[in-house]
Amino acid sequence: MDIKWLKTFIAVVEEGSFRAAAEKLFISQPSITVHMKLLEEHLRVQLFHREHTKVKVSAIGEKYYPMAKKLVAQIEASTKEIHLESLNPAVPLIISVSPALLYTNLLDRIHDFIELHQQYIVEIVMEDQVQLESAIKGQQIDVALGLHKFISKEFHSERIDRSPLRLVYSSKLQLMEKQLDLQLKALFNEHPLYIGYLNEHIPVVEWLNNEYEIKKFNKIKDVIFAIKLIKEGLGIGLLPESLISEEIEADLLRVVDIGPIGTINPVDIYMSHLRNSIKIIPLTSFIRNSLLEN
């Protein structure tokens, strides 16, 4: 299959006619016709219904359209990636990782990438969120992995993971109550709830406070510090499951069921960088694909 056939198909769908597609691609209309004929023969399907000078995308053509766009994007990305590797065998790459992600498997992903792509000289830094945008603009950082989405149009921010919020307490604390409601009331009566380190807390905390009248809140900005305090039994907290999966498995932290409210307000992890940055393509593709495999 020729990528030109795919690009032609995409152009015809988006422009609505062979003539408009030919103008967009700067090729002749007969070439458009040939490309579509070859693509249909290759796929053994009819992508368009033809009526004199008009064309209408078939049902199978509509289904194939997003597949074709994805194929073209993958081909172009892999072409850029291999071209980059051939031109520059030593490429510096600076990755900012939020401290909140230290206990996730993202560092393992980065390590796997480094092992596979020896031509990269990778430096991992921890930059304050306030400074991140200016650091990326100034090319002091190439890629940022964190809990915040960049809003400015000059950045590309994509969600690479989503994790439900869990209400957790230390295994050092003993809950005498058997009923869930009584457990929650006891926790909120006897222990402070740490807040302030995640925006996703707000609607969940409001709901819990309406239901159980939380007696005390302690504000803390750093999620890693919050995890440490909760593990020591100095309070309870709402934390994304991906950040505390090891602690839960080791029975250092225990989860109390708060129903669907934690899933409705999940915590997202974002990968952000300047748009049209070529040298980061191998890394972003690797992280994206490795997470999809799981």
One domain, residues 94 and 111? yes
Predicted structure pTM score: 0.62
Residue 179 has a pLDDT of 86
One domain, residues 253 and 204? yes
Domain end among 44, 64, 83: 83
Sorting pLDDT into bands at 50, 70 and 90, what band is 85? low
Domain count, the chain: 3
219 vs 53, more confident:
219
One domain, residues 247 and 179? yes
One domain, residues 173 and 248? yes
One domain, residues 137 and 280? yes
Sorting pLDDT into bands at 50, 70 and 90, what band is 100? confident
Smallest CA-to-CA distance from 147 within 38, 268, 52 is with 268
Q: List, for residues 151-210, the tens digit of each pLDDT value.
A: 888 899 999 888 888 999 999 988 887 888 888 888 988 899 888 777 767 888 888 888
Q: What is the separation of C-alpha 175 from the centre of its chain, rounded to a whole number of angstroms?
A: 36
One domain, residues 256 and 240? yes
Residue 251 has a pLDDT of 92
**Stretch 69-82: mean pLDDT:** 86
What are the helix (H) ranges across the chain? 3-15, 18-25, 29-43, 59-87, 106-116, 129-137, 180-190, 201-212, 223-231, 241-249, 261-264, 281-293
Smallest CA-to-CA distance from 143 within 269, 293, 289 is with 269
- Is it the case that residue 98 has pLDDT exceeding 80? yes
Q: Which domain holds residue 130?
A: 88-161+268-293
Q: List, for residues 3-13, the tens digit of each pLDDT value.
A: 899 999 999 99
One domain, residues 145 and 227? no
One domain, residues 68 and 214? no
- Is it the case that residue 258 has pLDDT exceeding 60? yes
- Between CA 43 and CA 27 the distance in angstroms is 23
Q: How far is CA 162 from CA 65, 138, 261, 262, 269, in A?
A: 27, 29, 15, 12, 6
Q: Domain holding 67: CATH number?
A: 1.10.10.10
- Cβ contact 207:134 at 8 Å: no
One domain, residues 107 and 143? yes
Q: Domain holding 202: CATH number?
A: 3.40.190.10
One domain, residues 177 and 250? yes
- Between CA 273 and CA 230 the distance in angstroms is 33
Domain end among 52, 83, 114: 83
Give the number of other Cβ atoms within 10 Å of residue 294's Cβ: 7
One domain, residues 152 and 278? yes
What DSSP letter does each residue of 105-169 carry, written as one string?
THHHHHHHHHHH-TTEEEEEE---HHHHHHHHHTTS-SEEEES----STTEEEEEEEEE-EEEEE
In this prediction, what percent of the chain has a pLDDT beyond 70? 95
- Cβ contact 194:236 at 8 Å: yes
One domain, residues 155 and 284? yes
Domain end among 83, 118, 147: 83
Residue 183 has a pLDDT of 87
- Cβ contact 187:256 at 8 Å: yes
Mapped onto helix, strand or coil, the DSSP state of residue 219 is strand
Residues 6+ apart with CB under 8 A from 3: 72, 75
